[in-house]
A and B are shown apart, each in its own frame.
Chain A
Amino acid sequence: MKKLLALSIVAVLSACSLHADTITLNASGATFPAPIYGRWFAEYNKLHPDVRVNYQGIGSGAGIKQFTDGLTDFGASDAAMSDDEIAAVKTGGVVLLPMTAGSIVLSYNLPGVTDSIKLPRDVYPAIFLGEITKWNDAKIAAANPGVTLPDMPITVAYRADGSGTTYNFTNHLAVISADFKTKVGAGKQVKFPVGVGGKGNDGVAALIKQTPGTIGYVEFGYAMGVKLPMATLQNQAGKFVAPTPESGSAALAAVEMPANLRAFVTDPAGDTSYPIVTFTWWLCHTEYTKPGVADAIKSLAAWCLTDGQKLAPELGYLPLPASVLTKVQAATATIK
């Protein structure tokens, strides 16, 4: 009996030593890109069995916190990191890497309406401010000739939990509507004057599906997955653009990426650009002391920026435009 125990201890120990050169990268943060990250890390692990990534989708804010406290090897955030947050990182420095992007869509539940409804730039901020309250409002009707809009109150559905999706959506609304900026403002969690809150994308989607007359914002990939209708929005150029991978990519390509790789696409220019898109970032250190971690992150990022990008459309994300990719690849190379 004792011999068996001793043997099994030896076996366990040797198993551990066999895995000694395996590197586990701990990461946490945004929930919005969690599905594509999960896929990336699984695919990468198949090619490189010696690198495991343990990613936890706990929210951008919590991801920044854990990264700052040194609990994770890299973080992930839909709102990048503010200058104050970067200053709070004591050792190792910070480099922000945009890794993928996505569109935010307005989904709705309108019985009897089969076409994608068009919402002008002055209308959808007013809906979320509670100023347009009926679906057959003259302003909505004017933009949708030929569509019979029901005489039904509009119920706004929003994210009750703090989220990068809300951050990017409200930033867009604050840019295109001065009213929205002063009355509500932009943030991860804001005080919407009307409506009901759901927890997570799935919570908002459930509210939209369950109650006729509801409109809410969800991520494109999510709306596509659960087959919610999506509104066609008027962009900066005044054109109505439906949310598609192409219109999202066009919006991203219109952005001039600054040296710190922190660009918020609040109101993209261009005739074919879908108006609400966002990058999402990895938060990495510029210098790692743990042996092997820097190389592992660099080769992981390199794969995600090349082969990984091809997985984006099928999961509802947007591949990064070539101009952005070269800049991110250059930034990745600086990690030591």
Chain B
Amino acid sequence: MLETETMPPSTASNGVPWVSTKRAKSAARFDTFFSGLTFVSGWGTVALLVLIGLEVGYASLPAMRQFGFHFFTSTDWDPVNDQYGALPLIYGTLVSSVLALLIATPLGVAIAIFLTEDYLHHKLRSFFKFLVELLAAIPSVIYGLWGIYIVMPITTQLGNWLNAHFGWIPLFSTPASGPGFLPASFVLAIMILPTIAALSGAALKTTPQPLKEGASALGATRWDVILQITLPIAASGIFGAVVLALGRAMGETMALAMLVGNNNQISTSLFAPANTIASLLANSFGEATGLQVAALMYLSFILMALTLGINAMAEVILDRSGANKKHL
């Protein structure tokens, strides 16, 4: 794939008729050098990924042999007795990420519509766009601190009120003890908001102008156009954006380590502390020895496979949505 992409320039410049042979020769040499460089860099990146995968896989072999598939079903993570199971961590990773998506998707898509549908003067629009993109530039640890000092007290009070009045609903079944799914997912949602807003915005822009104008000419209101023309056409692009954001949310570490509660349990309650793979990895590697290191590597391997798979899926969906545009 990469090879075919890098080859054409070098062959093309070899045959350029209107430059002197000397210049053509040096240009050709430069082209060969450059295509070689891109070739090496491109495949180097792939090789690096494969090597990391192999290295992590190799380091996790002792744990794979010891626990095998049971690793995915066991709920015990007990360094004292060297018993390791990943289920609460996989559960925590998926639930916190999906909750974050549930909060961030409507917000992100709404922002994308607001910023692409001519609601604002274009100068103001680029200012707002800049603000949303700025969210992506804030370091994770700052989000974590903001979460602990601002978000957590609010979610704790809200959680305790919901628990006191609606405790019979499994989602609200435990009192809030500070950190847990709710503050973690809320902060995570804000962290992935720029991804969803930017990529959904790009998808919304792919709607052909004539279609929108045609709909308006037939008497559709602005909201009719947005809901029945723009959104359906952009749907697969938006879905791709959401899946990509999911990949990002699952790998997020620092803010979650500070907010999720780091308790390896499975609870249906939104207010219960939980743990995620990335957070456990960040917390445990410094002091881990022996089989624990292998178990942590096994977890890393699972997280890598999950995020790689999800990112690949997002790329395919986003690619297809781009292709849709060409067909129209």
Contacts and interface: CB of A to CB of B under 8 A. Distances in A.
Interface of A: 58-62, 65, 153, 155, 160-163, 184-192, 194-199, 203, 206-207, 210-211, 213-214
Interface residues of B, number: 32
Interface stretch (B44-52, B73-81, B124-132): B73-81
A142 B149 CA distance: 34
B177 A211 contact: yes
Contact of A190 (B80, B148, B178, B262): B80
Contacts, number: 100
A206 B149 CA distance: 8
Given A196-B273, A207-B179, A190 B79 contact: yes
B116 interface: no
Interface in B244-268: 257-258, 261-264
Contacts of B175: 153
A155 B78 CA distance: 21
Interface string B265-291: 000000001010001001110111100
Given A155-B177, A196-B262, A207-B179, A162 B284 contact: yes
B156 interface: yes
Contacts of A211: 152, 156, 177-178
A170 B159 CA distance: 31
Nearest to B153: A210
Given A196-B178, A207-B178, A211-B177, A59 B80 contact: no
A211 B159 CA distance: 13
Nearest to B80: A185
Contacts of B79: 162, 187-191
Contacts of A161: 282-284, 286-287
Given A210-B148, A211-B178, A59 B287 contact: yes
Nearest to A62: B286
Contacts of B178: 155, 196, 207, 210-211, 214
Contacts of B257: 160, 199
B172 to A, nearest CB: 15
A196 B179 contact: yes
A93 to B, nearest CB: 21
A73 to B, nearest CB: 20
Contact of A203 (B76, B77, B156, B258): B258
A198 B80 CA distance: 19
Contacts of A155: 177-178
A30 to B, nearest CB: 10
Contacts of B156: 211
Contact of B262 (A185, A188, A194, A198): A198
Contacts of B282: 161, 199
Contact of B287 (A61, A192, A199, A207): A61
Interface in B269-326: 273, 275, 279, 282-284, 286-289
A86 to B, nearest CB: 14
A200 to B, nearest CB: 9
A59 B285 CA distance: 10
